[in-house]
Amino acid sequence: MSVVVFFLGLVMISLPFIPMLMEIVKKSDLSPLQISNQTLKDPRSVPDYVFWYLAHLLKVNGLIELKEKVSVSVSTMVGDSLLAIPAGIMTKLDVAAHTKVARVISAGKIILPDYSNHIQKILSLDSIQTGVENNLNEVHAHHLLTIGKKNKVIWWATAENVILQAEAHLPGKVQARKEIVFENGAQFHLLQGALIKSRINFESGSAENQELIKTPSTHIPHKLTISKNHTILDQVVFDGTLIVKGNLTLGKGSRVLGDLKVYGKLMVEEGAQIKGNVFSFGNIRFRGNNLVGGTLVTNRQLRMGPCTQVGFEDRKITVSAKSITIDGPFKVYGLLRAWKSGTITSSAL
């Protein structure tokens, strides 16, 4: 009897291990973990050849033959239909208001009128202009993309040049091969272009300063670590890399010719310039008329005053922060990323 109970007890103890034993025998999970970064090129960027391939497709077998040769109006098309307008047949596509279209591909220019056009994917081999208050999931134009007032780009927009007219809401990604120009305030998440700027032009710093900051250093700058809060006085030039384990204030017109890393808050007074990269674990505030030559990264908030320039034409950089606020005219060469929220205030532009 006791032997039976003993073995019953053993069975009870081993019951929870049955799934494990089954897994050992069955071997259902053998493949290695799929790792990221596997592809050579990003699969989601739309290179030129895609546009030309599409144009070619449209020429050879137009997916929908349209009788009219001039402009076409599309109204209330709902569903997963593909509207393709072959090149040569038409040069311009006007979409009526309150239209819902799954995908639109056009060889010509696309003009979207005002108010609530829900378009899943819109692709033009020429250019696209949108009206007021449209919701766009994906927009790709080969040349110019003009996004009208209060538009929302939910996922992705690409073009050669992008003009954002007013109060655009960009929770997705906007990429331009050349320029992204803001004509007014906007909310953004990720902007990428050779140059991201406001419509108003400005020169950041004197020509002499620009030259000094632009020239690559020939020597390895010396590194200085300061373990408490620090202030660099006005008009002081610091030739080297500076690491501050506290807050730092850069005085008016002062210059740092190396990199800068700050553990606390960084306050950059008017006209101050930094040649290298800037890292901060705290908030960064640029008072205005500042110039940063390298990458600008913070874990927290970044606030850029008017006439601030980051990067150069020949040096594309990244501006990355948890939240970014830009007051007034600005120029960023490269990539502007706000992990949580990015705002370009409209008042100063």
Give the binding site for other proteins (CB under 8 A).
1-2, 5-6, 9-10, 12-13, 16-17, 19-20, 22-24, 26-42, 44-45, 171-173, 175, 177, 189-190, 192, 194, 220, 223, 225, 227, 241, 243, 258-261, 276-277, 279, 294-295, 297, 299, 314-318, 320, 334-335, 337, 339
Q: C-alpha angle with apex 216: 212 to 194, nearest 5 degrees?
A: 90
Residue 35 CB, nearest approach to other proteins (Å): 4
Residue 20 backbone phi and psi in degrees, to 5: -65, -45
Identify which of residues 76 and 227 has a Cβ nearer to other proteins in the complex.
227
* CB of 187 vs other proteins, minimal distance in Å: 13
Nearest residue (CB) to other proteins, 190 versus 284: 190
The span from the first CA to the last CA of the chain, in angstroms, equals 91
Q: Is the backbone of residue 140 left (phi > 0), alpha (psi -120 to 50) or beta?
A: beta
To other proteins, the closest distance from the beta carbon of 303 in angstroms equals 18
For other proteins, the closer of residues 271 and 311 by Cβ is: 311
Q: In angstroms, give the least distance from the CB of 31 to other proteins.
A: 6
- Count Cβ atoms below 10 Å from residue 116 Cβ, excluding itself: 12
Q: Which is nearer to other proteins, 200 or 243 (CB)?
A: 243
Q: Which residues pair with 145 in a beta bridge?
A: 128, 162
In the complex with other proteins, which residue's Cβ is closer, 268 or 335? 335
Beta carbon nearer to other proteins, 89 or 302: 302
Q: How far is the CB of 8 from other proteins (least distance, A)?
A: 9
Min dist CB 247 to other proteins, Å, is 17
Instruction: Please say which residue, 20 or 60, places its beta carbon nearer to other proteins.
Output: 20
* Cβ closest to other proteins, residue 158 vs residue 308: 158
Q: Report the residue count for the chain.
A: 349
**Least separation, in Å, of the C-beta of 78 and other proteins?**
26
Check: CB of residue 214 under 8 Å from CB of residue 293.
yes
| Min separation Cβ 254 and other proteins, Å | 18
